[in-house]
Amino acid sequence: MKKKEFDLIERYLDGSLTESEKYEFESRVISDQPLKNKLEAHRAARQVLKELERNELRAQFKKYSQEKKGIASNDGPKIIRLQDKIKRTLRYAAAVAILVTFTGLSFLVFDSHRYGSSVFAEMNTREYLTIERSVGSTDEAKIIEIRQLYISENWTATIEQIVAIGAETQSLSPEILLILADAKYKSGDLNGAQEIYRSVQKLESIDEWFIHQAEWKELLLALEKKPFDPIFKGQLKDMASDENHLYKQLAANTLDQMQSWRFKIGQWFF
């Protein structure tokens, strides 16, 4: 869980959010199931800590230790009462242990989806888009202008400029389409980016490099949405085994990363 999100949940549970912040957070919880799961796990963990802080278990064992020293001088009824007290203490300890274990496992399960998604999101947001293929002279000036907007992280202006060029020329080069898809992704329009990556793959008579990049980034987007989907994992395996695919090694490295225990927890429960 990111620190910012952790702090937000803490403040919500403490009741220290402003009315507007509280309304915004509760609205997110309604529509964001992973966030709702984290909130419930956090609330359960707090309850466990609250119980432990009461030190009841420690006090019971301390009292038992003191009474144990006087067993020799106690009569039968006191010994029976002491045994009952020990049984209650052990039952309490077992209940606390089960609750702590359940809360911990629940958090790992709920957090595994966020973790898996963040792995692919991090890969997809890396700045590796470069002009690696020659383009026609009529496009070069436009691409340079667009890339300047892109590098400055002005996603809205980048998208608007590309749309304007498309309306003027009635067509866009594969490279400009890939920049448009990246800008849409970084502005939060994941579905729009995915559609463009798919459209690039359908273009005819273009460099294979553009097709392979579009395939790779579309797959990363799909995995970011559903990191434990067996179909997408199968596509990743196919890419890693394709000797002619330009992203073969990256796909293989990604498969290795998906062998971690946090991914395995997600695969078991999702």
CB–CB of 162/196 below 8 Å? no
Q: Could you give the count of Cα atoms lying within 13 Å of 238 in the half-sphere of its Cβ? A: 10
Tokens of 115: 């973790």
Written as six digits, the tokens of 207 are 């460099």
As given in the structure block, the two tokens for residue 18 are: 């402003």
Give the separation between CA 61 and CA 80, rounded to whole angstroms. Answer: 16
Distances (CA, A) of 263 to 35, 107, 176, 237: 19, 14, 35, 16
Whether 178 and 124 have beta carbons less than 8 Å apart is answered as no
Q: What is the pLDDT along the chain (270 residues), one digit of tens a residue?
A: 566 777 788 888 888 888 888 888 888 888 887 778 777 777 776 666 666 555 555 666 566 556 655 544 555 555 555 556 666 666 665 655 555 555 555 554 445 555 555 555 556 555 444 434 444 444 667 778 888 888 888 888 888 888 888 765 667 888 888 889 988 888 888 889 989 999 999 888 888 888 998 898 888 888 877 777 788 888 888 988 888 888 888 888 878 877 765 556 545 544
What is the CATH architecture assignment of 137-269? Alpha Horseshoe (1.25)
Retrieve residue 35's tokens.
């966030």
Q: Could you give the C-alpha distances from 204 to 145, 154, 207, in angstroms and in order?
A: 26, 30, 9
**What 3-state class would DSSP assign to 17?**
coil
CA 223-200-195 angle, to 5 degrees, is 50
Domain boundaries defined on the chain: 3-115, 137-269
**Token pair 């509760």 in the structure block, residue:** 26
Residue located via tokens 């579905």? 191
